[in-house]
């Protein structure tokens, strides 16, 4: 499909390509395209449309990101308008990638995340997806929000868990109960990237927002960032810098002034439980299940997307959900055994540890900051090694995630995993090699607890070190210890030894 010049204007402010750059490890990808899928909700027909784009322009490969986007690489600038035209028909837009600009400007509202089982989770407090739709429609292409100091990330979760990684978002709405009422409490200023003032988890605001007020509150917070965010330095242009300098008290005062009202206070618990909606789960609708396909790392072929779309129509309602752990959910399934058999034929086994659903890795092979082996390769190598040496039951008991980021930019938030691996380039003699720093004891929660244990570990050594850690955990743990409990009970020196001393 060719797009004439007169059509270009309708793409302005809604579509963009980003720059891939791999001077260290050539991939041949000049550009990438990050497709926004609000809340991760996508139809089988839409996924088939994206699979066609992947086959035609992206070497038959797509990636599900940890923000519920779909990313395509190997995009040529001369094909961009054709791709935008297809996306326009399918009903999706893209992130407005501003990495080409030196200063603090041209930031947008990134894909708004949502609990991937909104509306079907049997323990849901409230359904956040209608709010995601409303906000996405408001922000996409809105000229008032296309020149933020830098990108602005929002998550909305109604299930009472931190399945959307609320703590690493600029603004997170988490569903809570206040007496007989349900609503949201807000967390603000999260970002674990390298920008100043360094990694920060979002801070609780101790306010209660009723569902009917939530839209206005989110827009007001985005306006505060637009109008008061730092525009003098790109490294200080994230919302966390503003919150760090203002503090929660000043932020709430300005928010209430903007809204013209005093916000209700909330002093109860924020997260009710811990869950990533992995595996096969009963829905709130009687007799129906949702089936979470363990893709691990999120990389999927165009052909696999077509097959999954077909299965969603045959066994579900033709609807799919992308998860923050880089997987795909087929909801509204009755004949789950037949569906699972078809997925097993596609090499998506369900008789595997939860690690297959919860571990994530970034697309470091395209960023130009890393060398091989890259994040997704490293993740696969480690998990397969652990599966060979430990039972599914043991790995599940330990309750841990592995997050792998190829460089210190920390795209996969190593601090929100019990085992975090942060890549860096290290000199060995006259050679530069890809190495990884090992962080242990992190996880979901309101405090950064992951601590640096060992630096500059060669990728091929990682699986042996982590297997050594698990062996020591099994021998030395307390009865109810998870791996996180175990790591946080021991000193850095002890953990360093556990990484090097496997139990025979």
Q: From residue 120, how far is each of 161, 211, 214, 222, 274 by CA, in Å?
A: 14, 18, 21, 29, 17
User: Reduced to 3 states, what is the DSSP secondary structure of residue 155?
Assistant: strand
- Both 284 and 418 in a single domain? no
Total count of domains within the chain: 4
- Both 260 and 128 in a single domain? yes
Q: What is the dihedral of CA 489, 494, 495, 499, to 10 degrees?
A: -150
Q: Is residue 78 part of a domain?
A: yes
Is the CB of residue 381 less than 8 Å from the CB of residue 373?
yes
Is the CB of residue 132 less than 8 Å from the CB of residue 114?
yes
- Both 380 and 460 in a single domain? yes
Tokens representing residue 11 in the block:
């793409």
- Both 422 and 467 in a single domain? yes
Query: pLDDT digit string (tens) for 35-65?
Result: 999 999 999 999 999 999 999 999 999 999 9
- Both 290 and 253 in a single domain? no
Q: Is residue 270 part of a domain?
A: no
Q: Is residue 99 part of a domain?
A: no
For the chain, 504 residues long, give each residue's pLDDT as a single digit of tens: 444 455 678 898 999 999 897 667 678 899 999 999 999 999 999 999 999 999 999 999 999 999 999 999 999 999 999 999 999 999 999 999 766 566 788 899 999 999 999 999 999 999 999 999 999 999 999 999 999 999 999 999 999 999 999 999 999 999 999 999 999 999 999 998 889 999 999 999 999 999 999 999 999 999 999 999 999 999 999 999 999 999 999 999 999 999 999 999 999 999 988 889 999 999 999 999 999 999 999 999 999 999 999 999 999 999 999 999 999 999 999 999 999 999 999 999 999 999 999 999 999 999 888 899 999 999 999 999 999 999 999 999 999 999 999 998 899 999 999 999 999 999 888 899 999 999 999 998 877 778 999 999 999 999 999 999 999 999 999 989 999 999 999 999 999 999 997 655
- Cβ neighbour number for residue 138 with a 10 Å cutoff: 16
d(C-alpha 340, C-alpha 326), whole Å: 19
Q: Is residue 291 part of a domain?
A: yes
Residues spanned by the domain of 439: 357-500
CATH number at residue 365: 3.30.413.10
Q: What angle is formed at CA 271 by the lines to CA 268 and CA 277, rounded to 5 degrees?
A: 155
Q: Is residue 260 part of a domain?
A: yes
- Both 452 and 405 in a single domain? yes
Tokens representing residue 85 in the block:
């035209």
- Both 296 and 378 in a single domain? no
Q: Is residue 178 part of a domain?
A: yes
pTM of the model: 0.95
Residue 479 CB partners (closer than 8 Å, separation 6+): none
Query: pLDDT digit string (tens) for 422-476?
Result: 999 998 888 999 999 999 999 988 777 789 999 999 999 999 999 999 999 999 9
d(C-alpha 148, C-alpha 137), whole Å: 18
- Cβ neighbour number for residue 260 with a 10 Å cutoff: 7
């Amino acid at each position: 499909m060719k797009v004439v010049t007169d059509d270009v204007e309708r793409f302005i402010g809604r579509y963009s390509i980003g720059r891939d750059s791999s001077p260290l490890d050539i991939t041949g990808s000049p550009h990438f395209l990050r497709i926004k899928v609000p809340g991760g909700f996508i139809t089988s027909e839409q996924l088939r449309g994206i699979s066609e784009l992947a086959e035609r322009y992206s070497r038959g490969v797509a990636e599900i990101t940890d923000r519920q986007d779909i990313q395509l690489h190997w995009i040529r600038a001369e094909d961009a308008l054709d791709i935008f035209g297809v996306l326009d028909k399918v009903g999706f837009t893209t992130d407005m990638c501003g990495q080409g600009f030196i200063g603090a400007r041209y930031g947008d509202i990134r894909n708004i995340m949502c609990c991937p089982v909104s509306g079907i989770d049997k323990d849901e407090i409230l359904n956040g997806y209608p709010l995601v739709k409303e906000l996405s429609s408001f922000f996409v292409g809105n000229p008032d929000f296309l020149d933020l100091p830098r990108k602005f990330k929002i998550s909305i979760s109604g299930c009472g868990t931190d399945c959307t990684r609320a703590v690493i978002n600029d603004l997170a709405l988490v569903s809570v109960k206040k007496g007989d009422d349900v609503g949201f409490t807000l967390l603000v200023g999260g970002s674990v990237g390298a920008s100043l003032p360094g990694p920060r988890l979002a801070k609780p605001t101790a306010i209660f927002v009723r569902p009917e007020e939530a839209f206005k509150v989110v827009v007001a917070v985005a306006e505060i960032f637009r109008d008061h965010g730092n525009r003098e330095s790109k490294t200080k242009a994230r919302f966390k810098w503003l919150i760090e300098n203002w503090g929660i008290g000043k932020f709430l005062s300005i928010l209430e002034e903007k809204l013209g009202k005093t916000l209700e206070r909330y002093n109860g618990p924020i997260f009710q439980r811990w869950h990533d909606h992995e595996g096969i789960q009963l829905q709130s609708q009687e007799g129906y299940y949702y089936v979470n396909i363990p893709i691990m790392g999120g990389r999927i072929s165009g052909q696999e997307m077509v097959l999954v779309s077909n299965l969603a129509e045959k066994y579900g309602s033709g609807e799919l959900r992308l998860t923050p752990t880089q997987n795909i959910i087929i909801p509204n399934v009755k004949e789950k055994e037949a569906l699972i058999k078809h997925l097993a034929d596609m090499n998506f086994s369900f008789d595997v540890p939860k690690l297959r659903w919860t571990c994530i890795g970034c697309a470091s092979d395209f960023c130009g900051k890393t060398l091989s082996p890259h994040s997704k390769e490293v993740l696969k190598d480690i998990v397969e090694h652990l599966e060979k040496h430990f039972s599914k039951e043991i790995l599940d008991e330990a309750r841990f995630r592995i997050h792998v980021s190829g460089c210190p930019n920390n795209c996969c938030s190593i601090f929100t995993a019990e085992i975090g691996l942060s890549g860096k380039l290290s000199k060995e003699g006259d050679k530069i090699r890809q190495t990884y720093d090992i962080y242990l004891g992190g996880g979901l929660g309101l405090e950064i607890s992951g601590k640096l244990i060992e630096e500059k570990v060669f990728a091929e050594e990682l699986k042996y070190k982590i297997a050594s850690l698990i062996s020591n955990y099994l021998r030395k743990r307390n009865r109810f210890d998870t791996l996180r409990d175990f790591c946080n009970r021991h000193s850095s020196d002890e953990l360093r030894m556990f990484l090097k001393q496997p139990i025979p």
